[in-house]
Amino acid sequence: MRLPNYIQEVIEREQADEAEPWLMYGRLIDGIEVKELSLYHIHLLDGLDNTILSGGNVDEANIAQFLWIVSKDFKLSDNKARDKFIKSIADKNTYKIRLEINDYIKSGLAHSRAMANDEKEERGNAHFLAYVVHTLASTYSWSIEYILNLPVNIVHQLVAVMNENTSKINGESYSIIRESDKLINRHLRKLKEDS
């Protein structure tokens, strides 16, 4: 059975979203070099109440702050570099940048959205951060700094594999429901109803 094109496109995008961070080649948002979205970025943006991740009204200041933090040039306490960066993006089209930021976030969090479908309760970023750092540090002996700078999509893939392995050891089932899985299920239900 051949799946409809729109489902095939979602599957291909999910596969690309999972594979691209492992290449560690960086990305562009409207010509601005940015790193893959990491736990460190999310933690900083959350602490600064940046509305791009938390929701709410997004203004030019939120966009500039977001781009500065994920940019290749970001240094936490280098105000001179930050000011230079903000001046360099002042004339950019904020609507276009916002669309590209949305794609960047969607791609960076693709695997985490799939994992969230299986969670029983939602917890704060600090709890999630502690869980991930503990899990990866104890499993791989990586430093906190190393873990925080991993792309989020890679972190979620590693945690998913560990959860899957733990479930197998405990005789439990574990699965991640992706957007493509939902579309395929809807498509199959429709085919069944139509026959």
Q: Give the pLDDT confidence of 35-78 residue by residue, as tens digits.
A: 988 889 988 998 899 999 888 889 999 999 999 999 999 998 89
Q: What's the domain range around 127?
A: 5-194
Phi-psi domain of 34 (left: phi exceeds 0; alpha: psi -120 through 50; beta: other)? beta
**CA angle centred on 165, ends 163 and 171, rounded to 5°:** 100
- Residue 127: per-residue pLDDT: 66
**pTM recorded for the entire structure:** 0.64
**Amino acid type, 70:** V
Number of domains in the chain: 1
Pair of tokens at residue 17: 């979203």
Q: Regarding predicted confidence, which is higher, 110 or 158?
A: 158
